[in-house]
Amino acid sequence: MRPAPTAKEPPGNGTGGQAAVLVLAGTLTIMAGAVVAPAIPGIRAAFSDTADVDLLARMTTSAHALAIVLFSPLAGGLSERMGRKRALVVGMFAFALGGSSGFYLPDLISILAGRVVLGLGVSLVMTNSVALIADLYEGSERQRLLGRQTAAGAFGGVVLLVGGGALAGLGWRTVFLVYLLGAALMIPALKYLPDIRSQAPGAATSDSSAPLARRHWPAGLAAALAAMFLGQIAFYSVPVQVPFLVEDHFHATSVASGAVIAVQTLTTGVVSLRFARIRRLAGERSLVAVAFACIGIGYLVLFMAPHVAVLAVGTLVMGAGLGVLMPNLNNWVINAAPPEARSRYAGFLTTALFLGQFLAPVVTQPVVNALDIQPLFLVIALGALLVAAVYLTSARRRTRAAAASPTPEPRPDDASEQPGRKAGRAH
């Protein structure tokens, strides 16, 4: 059942327009950093007289990530007070305002400030789009939409990387106009999304376990956040390191490195579209183990690759893992969270995601400096396979414990270990 809204949901809340808005919101998060990347050389040239311009120009692709890491835990609590629809629309406005500011702001420092506003917008969009999917859909339909949202982000990322490069050819400021898509999505969001407010923390509930759930983190949440953090470090190490390997070691062009990365992104999108079916086969912890096994195998291929084409095989395997991991973790967290706190816990997941991306270069570069790029890939592969073994062991232990209990009490995060069980919780 769904959480009780403050006002009755309008008829037809399962329309295609509602689903389309929530799915397309996934593309905004990918746009945050990807679109502006081709404009960095133009930004550096335009502000060449600015101190530390090389660093500051590159920070246009990462300043929003730090803002997301810091603000996302607060975004969830703010959303619960504002209402999820209103918070989502405010996030889309901040996304459009902060993202497009590079088109008209006069100096590099103010543009970086605009990127911080962009990060605040992404925090609100990510936390509330996921929470609204949880509020409005259950079971396989919820899983299907979470998969489509991941796919929209993956496919959109490829299109936007190519489109951003084309727009950068017209002038580096032109690229920033793409962020106005956030403003365009505000209109259908206002039209199609119902105004659902989470249950007030002090409201009465028939669920006797609810007060305990509000005082303590849901079971399994830490495991989901750890998987997101580690998975993003592994994922982001590809775009950070592969271009240098392709150009310096294999002496190929930047087009080849872009193609290798695109294979991973496209595979992520294709696999995530099948998440609802994949979810019927195993539970959350088991699927995390499968995802990290794919990541580990993919990195082993990258480590042994003698040619650029073999690198693409490795990123294809990794993309399959990421296509399982991302919707699975979203589904895990929103199933485990109390209905009134879904935005808050989605905010924690967003923090883990962008913290992993932000720290990926920091964590991997010392290994590259000491060993080189392909040995780094071996280190990541072994780490990913170890993580897979830990989650698989945890899944099996929980399954055995549930089977041994005469009256097993289901827990939100391991509804999982019963394939085919309905994902939506009874609220």
- Using one digit for the tens of pLDDT, what is the confidence trace for 312-336? 999 999 999 999 999 999 999 988 8
Q: If you compute the radius of gyration of the chain from its CA atoms, what whole number of angstroms results?
A: 21
Residue 70 sits at the vertex; the CA angle it makes with 66 and 75, to the nearest 5 degrees, is: 125
Least confident of 13-27, 232-246, 298-312, 339-353: 13-27
Residue 331 has what pLDDT?
Answer: 93
Q: What is the rounded CA–CA span in Å between residue 123 and residue 131?
A: 12
Write down the mean pLDDT value for the chain: 82
pLDDT of 208: 34
Q: Tell me the C-alpha distance between 156 and 295, whole Å.
A: 22
pLDDT band at 201; cut points 50, 70, 90: very low
CA 122 to chain centroid, in Å, comes to 11
What is the share, in percent, of the chain residues with pLDDT greater than 90?
43
Q: How much is the pLDDT for 251?
A: 86
What pLDDT score does 161 carry? 64
First to last CA, the chain: 6
Q: What's 48's DSSP letter?
A: T
Contact yes or no for 276/143 (Cβ under 8 A): yes
The correct answer on CATH 1.20.1250.20 for the domain covering 16-194 is yes
pLDDT tens track for 372-384? 999 999 999 999 9
Q: Where are the domains positioned within the chain?
A: 16-194, 220-401
Residue 116: Cβ within 10 Å count: 17
Task: Give the up-direction half-sphere exposure of residue 13: CA atoms within 13 A in the CB hemisphere.
Answer: 16
pLDDT value at residue 189? 94
Q: What is the mean pLDDT of residues 58-65?
A: 81
Question: To the nearest whole percent, how much of the chain has pLDDT over 70?
Answer: 83
Same fold, 16-194 and 220-401: yes
Check: CB of residue 328 under 8 Å from CB of residue 284.
Answer: yes
Residue 421: CB atoms within 10 Å = 14
pLDDT at 10: 41
Residue 76's pLDDT band (boundaries 50, 70, 90)? confident
Query: Minimum mean pLDDT among 56-60, 326-330, 352-356: which range?
Result: 56-60
Query: Is 220-401 assigned to CATH 3.10.20.30?
Result: no
Average the pLDDT over 107-124 and give the result: 93
Note the pLDDT tens digit of each residue in 276-317: 999 999 999 999 999 999 999 999 999 999 989 999 999 999
Which two structure tokens, joined as six digits, stand for 148?
């489509």
Q: Any idea how long the chain is?
A: 427
DSSP single-letter state for residue 35 = T
The pLDDT assigned to 219 comes to 67
Question: What CA–CA distances, in Å, run from 280 to 140, 284, 426?
Answer: 9, 10, 19
Distance separating alpha carbons of residues 329 and 350, to the nearest angstrom: 11
Q: Is the pLDDT of residue 361 over 90?
A: no
- pLDDT, tens only, 100-111: 999 999 999 999
Taken in order 258, 351, 230, 115, is the CA torsion positive or negative?
positive
Q: What is the pLDDT of residues 209-246, one digit of tens each?
A: 344 344 466 768 899 999 999 999 998 888 878 878 88
Cα–Cα distances in Å, from 331 out to 28, 130, 206, 243, 313?
19, 9, 24, 32, 28
